[in-house]
Amino acid sequence: MKELAELTEKELLGRLAEPGNREAVLFFTPLCGTCKVAERMLQVVEASGKAIPLHKLNINYARELRQRWQIASVPCLVVVEAGEVQAREYAMHGVDFLFDLLKEA
């Protein structure tokens, strides 16, 4: 399974400016074991081919979005549509939960 594409904060901010864009971002830190488990579950969802675009972003390099979206801890999965936060999940309840959350509309 391929890894989630890692974006910089600047790249993500550019993507968010696109109208009608719906995607999900996993905020993580490299040494976080729970983050690795969350990413693995998201890889399974992404492999289904029916999920919205998924990315990851190292929270240590995302000062602006961390403050704007009030990210309290990692892992944190944020679903964004047209630049607005639609969902913020800290507990990854399982692949089926994530699949339902991230399926294409």
Give the mean pLDDT of 14-41.
91
Please name the CATH architecture into which domain 5-102 falls. Answer: 3-Layer(aba) Sandwich (3.40)
Tell me the residue length of the chain. 105
Domain ranges for the chain, please list them: 5-102
**pLDDT of 44-76, one tens digit each?**
999 988 889 999 999 999 999 999 999 999 999
Q: pTM for the complete prediction?
A: 0.92
Contact assessment for residue 6 and residue 55, using Cβ atoms and an 8 Å cutoff:
yes
Contact assessment for residue 92 and residue 75, using Cβ atoms and an 8 Å cutoff:
yes
Beta bridge partners of 87: 79
**pLDDT band at residue 27 under the 50/70/90 scheme:** very high
